[in-house]
Amino acid sequence: MPAEDRAPKPPREIVSFVRRGERLSPSRQNAWDRLSEEYVLDPPRGERDTVPAPGATLDLEEVFGRRAELVVEVGSGLGENIVAAAAENPQRDHLAVEVYRPGLAQTLSRIDRAGRPRNIRLLPLDAQRGLPVLLPEASIAQLWVYFSDPWPKSRHHKRRLINPPFLDAVLPLLADGARFRLATDWAQYAHHMRAHLDAREELELLHPEGPRPGDHSSDTLPEGMNATGWAPRFEGRVKTSFEAKGRRAGRLVWDLGYIRLPRHSGHSPA
C-alpha cells in the first residue's frame, strides 16, 4: 500500500502503568480458574483490552446484590488492602481496579483465604478511562490510591497517576463527603500529589494541621515541602510489601486524606 494511502495512526495515549508479563504461577492459575468467573468483572471492551466499550455500564446493585457504600482502590496490586477491608467491613462493597493479571490472581487467592467475602469484585481496566464510563456520578464513598508508581524520572512525570486527567475523571465519581486517601513512600511524588490535589476546589484536606512523617529520608525532600496537611496512617491500610520495601530503603511514608466537598456549597464538580 502506498504510504500516502495509509491511515494515520492515532496518537499514543499516556498511561500510568506498563503492562508486564501475564504468565501465572500454578497456584495463581488455580485461583484464577476457580474464582475469576465469580469475582472478576468482564464488561465489553473498546479499542484496547483495558478500556471499556463506549456505553458500557456497571450496575452496582446487580453486581453486589444490594445498595451499599462503595470503596474503590485504584491500583490494588496484590490485594492486601482491599481484601482485608472487605473481610472486616461486610456492610460496605469494595471494587479493586488493577490491570496486572498476576496481581488479580493473587487477590483471588487472598479472597479464597479470607472465606470468599461476597462484597468485593475485581475490575481489570484502566481506572482513568474505565471508571467514568462504568460508574455513575457521586457513587464512590471512599477512593484509595496507595503506592502508585512514582515515575521518578522527570521525563516520566506525565505518566504519574495523580495528574489532572485522572483527577478530572474520578473526582465527579466521589459522593459528597467521600474520602480520598493516598499514600506514597517517595517524597518527590508526595510533593507532586500535594500540588495537584490541594489545587482542586472540590477537595479539602482532612488533616490540615497534620505534621509530616519526618524530616530525614533516604530520598531527597523537595524544596518547599509542606510542613503540615499530612494524614496519620489510615487504620484501614494494611502494611503491604511495597510499603515494607520503602521502609527498608529508609524512605518515609507520606499519607494524605481529602474530603469531597458538597456540590451545593458553591464548589463546582470536577
Question: Annotated binding residues for S-adenosyl-L-methionine, as ranges?
Answer: 73, 98, 126, 149
Where is the binding site for substrate, in residues?
153, 185, 240-243
Where is the binding site, in residues?
73, 98, 126, 149, 153, 185, 240-243
DSSP at 146: E
Alpha-carbon gap, residue 260 to 188, rounded angstroms: 24
> In this structure, what are the phi and psi dihedrals at residue 180, rounded to the nearest 5 degrees?
-120, 110
> In this structure, what are the phi and psi dihedrals at residue 72, rounded to the nearest 5 degrees?
-120, 130
> In this structure, what are the phi and psi dihedrals at residue 183, rounded to the nearest 5 degrees?
-155, 145
> In this structure, what are the phi and psi dihedrals at residue 37, rounded to the nearest 5 degrees?
-60, -35
What CA–CA distances, in Å, run from 113 to 52, 67, 79, 85?
30, 25, 12, 14
Decide if 149 is catalytic: yes
DSSP at 210: P
Among 5, 49, 112, 149, the active-site one is 149
Other beta carbons within 10 angstroms of residue 67's beta carbon come to 9
Contacts of 142 (CB under 8 A, 6+ apart): 69, 70, 71, 72, 178, 179, 180, 181
Catalytically active residues, by annotation: 149
